Structure 1
């Protein structure tokens, strides 16, 4: 299985496409104006403490105050607040936290007003970007993600990914990280750390500690609403989380992004540096690789399945609904149950892809084609769970209900991606009505009269929709023949099926467009 990453630089950011075996599986549109990215750490200011919600609203510079719940403070928030205050007062605060006296953990069932007060400055991390009318969601449990490890300041625990299942490997990694991590820092060991040696893990840990130290330096001179530690760009973060042996190509058409990616690859995987390619900026990279066509076909309300069948995807405020239909597949198998199972299995694969592609989050309800056989229902549930394994967002898949519905919850940290796949009709301009064809014919004849009499043009050529072409050319004494007798000049009429019925063009002998009267 091959993975390709295509990055197209735009005027206000970049578009990122992740292809798996030439099929688009992830698409991101990163805009320069979006300053609130998941992972960014800010120095915020408490604007309001709401005891009824047991939460606080924090000003980090967004038009709406960000939301911070008591449960997102983390047990070590008092230690974080103490450190923030010392750094802001420019006391001799070491970023290494060696010798820093930790405060007692807060009560899990406590109240927000016991910890925070109005106008207090607090270090917070964005865990969910602004979505719809809501501001960002925040946490005080700070974490800095690396390739193999995640650094957690003001903690001493070492946790390991549940996806690493071998007991010996888990023990090795835990022993290794405990031996190299500094005091008052916790570490989460990521799945990709499996099998890595101490040198690679130690290098990753050092990079994370350097990033924390840079952040502390920023904190000492920061003002409320300032960003203290910034998450890397979307392209680099995809590489950090997904770069592996199956990656065989990273193609970029922007010089600045190319050098950023190349430098990052050189740091995390020097052997992969050669797969980064730069193409000429004038080349339409998404057109060249067929991405534009895939985007238009994959983001519509209706999505076709290979081998027959289709999905209808509807979005509401509360949840997303996906309906699976058999389409022309209904007669392809010997019996209805087999048809339903085959279409449902194809649909499960496409649905998992669509969730990643559109970054759909929250509750997703899928209405699969009804099946009676309990074994087939179990097969579908198992297939759906297997397809969702490749998704980087946290998700939960529930078995089919007695009504044949499957529910999926998927972590939502960014606004859902939506691409317009419908265009305004060129004939009616979106009104649903077009000018009478006979009036268009009159308009063409008025323009022809102006061109022949006032401009005295020779070799005039008119390009028209097939209906109008037939109207002017059919019959023994057609309207074009009448023009010949009227102007004593032959008018060429060209059939152009790409034109709308209300559209036409006049050209002179040299092929240049002739200015018309409207």
Structure 2
């Protein structure tokens, strides 16, 4: 059974997709921090940078967006100060502004509308020529001027009226955006996608058995939307039980586990997931799994198969994007390596975000890429640690004490201290400073009376030295 759980709170909306009671996908939207991916802006070109093969565009959000040359439309001049219509492909990161494209498109339930095109394409997964011709003819007859379409796989089972309504709606949206783009003064927002509640019905409900929502106002809004989108309202249910929605379906527990570095596998092995700015590394370990009499190759293949399926799930749930390197357990047989890659490719097909399994390197590492659009999931739940600055490590108390001693030595070289001193530092550092040889060195270096005061609010790297 596939079901959607929409958990609505004043500051955050969370959508969980469950497949047979197992968390399959997770989407988070904070109030005031809505996803800008898919938005269309009229921007102003600020800098054309040939060395970066692109240009910076002011779209009015405080940080310039970047437009790559390969994402521009052919034939149009690109000069500083010129206005340009762009759509956001990737949201900002801590160090970069959003990535935008001139190739504007809008996705519906049954088709994707393309700006500045007359192309009508049909999904390759629709193989029946009669159906392909019918859908192509319907899309062509309803397409607005300068709008092309790619018909999605879901269209082959759609009711004719629903398909036509979807195409007409996309054509109207494209027409409105282009008309606004012609009259608005840049920088300006021309189009924003629906919020997470809207997406739950428009993008995900078709493939699910039901949608449970725990907010009455949102429930009423979704019923109206379902009617407008010609979707069965019977699938949308209001959840009003004593136990909270996510607690009742154990989603809270699964979300907490998403932030663990080590992920256990059913076979007894585990995944170890580490992040960098541009790369995510996943290591597959055999762990405590022992198979009596099983050859190493069979054992490795068994654990790797489990790992491949779980890796696809974890990168979806954690919102991992960019380059991904996976170090599977070594296998000797070429056919088993090929089977493993195919298992991984099949597993990532469930992902709504474009994910590619590129192959295995000579070192046995599997290369993957996943389109980075929004934040990683942990960024919605955690702030960077103030003590370690996000590194996952804090300075040892011994080294922190050594730094205080070295600071005293440097100050003493400029001349003797004329008054007694007061050192304020965290409790763990105070303990080291007051122990054995360190205390003797401190007093010898200072050459004056020293009082050490514990300061609980200080991090390990913070201290003050005052004259008293």
* Equivalent residue, structure 1, for 2:141: 179
1:299 to 259, 281, 285: 259
Equivalent residue runs for 1:53-452 within 5 Å: 53-75=52-74, 106=75, 115-216=77-178, 218-219=180-181, 222-244=184-206, 246-271=207-232, 273-280=233-240, 283-331=243-291, 334-418=294-378
Q: 1:369 to 1:3 in 2, by over 3 A?
A: same
Mapped contact 1:297–1:421 kept (Cα < 8 A): no
* Equivalent residue, structure 2, for 1:8: 7
SS at match of 1:243: helix
Q: 1:213 to 1:182 in 2, by over 3 A?
A: closer
1:315-374: per-residue Cα shift (whole Å, max 9, x none)?
112311111111222335622221111111111110000111112111111111111122
Mapped contact 1:333–1:339 kept (Cα < 8 A): no
* Equivalent residue, structure 1, for 2:403: none
SS at match of 2:340: helix
Mapped contact 1:36–1:136 kept (Cα < 8 A): no
Mapped contact 1:299–1:421 kept (Cα < 8 A): no
Mapped contact 1:359–1:416 kept (Cα < 8 A): yes
SS at match of 1:194: helix
Mapped contact 2:117–2:146 kept (Cα < 8 A): yes
* Equivalent residue, structure 2, for 1:37: 36
Mapped contact 1:332–1:339 kept (Cα < 8 A): no
Q: Which runs of 5+ in 1 are unaligned?
A: 76-105, 107-113, 425-429, 434-518
Shift of 1:184: 2.2
The TM-score normalised by the length of structure 2 is 0.76
377-386 or 174-183: bigger deviation: 174-183
| Alpha-carbon distance in 1 for matches of 2:83, 2:197 | 32
Shift of 1:277: 1.6
1:231-280: per-residue Cα shift (whole Å, max 9, x none)?
11234335433333x51221112233323322222233432x11212224
46-55 or 146-155: bigger deviation: 46-55
| Alpha-carbon distance in 2 for matches of 1:193, 1:417 | 32
Q: 1:378 to 1:36 in 2, by over 3 A?
A: closer
SS at match of 1:375: helix
Runs of 4+ in 1 over 6 A off after TM superposition: 421-424, 430-433
Q: 1:401 to 1:220 in 2, by over 3 A?
A: closer
Q: 1:280 to 1:364 in 2, by over 3 A?
A: same
Q: Which runs of 5+ in 2 are unaligned?
A: 386-393, 398-468
Shift of 1:21: 1.0
Computing the radius of gyration from Cα coordinates, the structure with the larger value is 1
The TM-score normalised by the length of structure 1 is 0.69
| Alpha-carbon distance in 2 for matches of 1:384, 1:50 | 39
Shift of 1:126: 0.8
Shift of 1:129: 1.0
| Alpha-carbon distance in 1 for matches of 2:378, 2:192 | 26
Q: 1:60 to 1:369 in 2, by over 3 A?
A: same
SS at match of 1:155: coil
Shift of 1:295: 1.0
Shift of 1:206: 1.5
1:486-505: per-residue Cα shift (whole Å, max 9, x none)?
xxxxxxxxxxxxxxxxxxxx
Mapped contact 1:8–1:16 kept (Cα < 8 A): yes
Mapped contact 2:10–2:31 kept (Cα < 8 A): no
Mapped contact 2:45–2:84 kept (Cα < 8 A): yes
SS at match of 2:369: strand
Mapped contact 1:147–1:268 kept (Cα < 8 A): no
| Alpha-carbon distance in 2 for matches of 1:137, 1:281 | 43
User: C-alpha root-mean-square deviation of aligned residues, in Å?
Assistant: 2.7
| Alpha-carbon distance in 2 for matches of 1:296, 1:72 | 38
1:49 partnered with 2:38: no
1:7-62: per-residue Cα shift (whole Å, max 9, x none)?
11123231111111111111111022225521111121222222333422111122
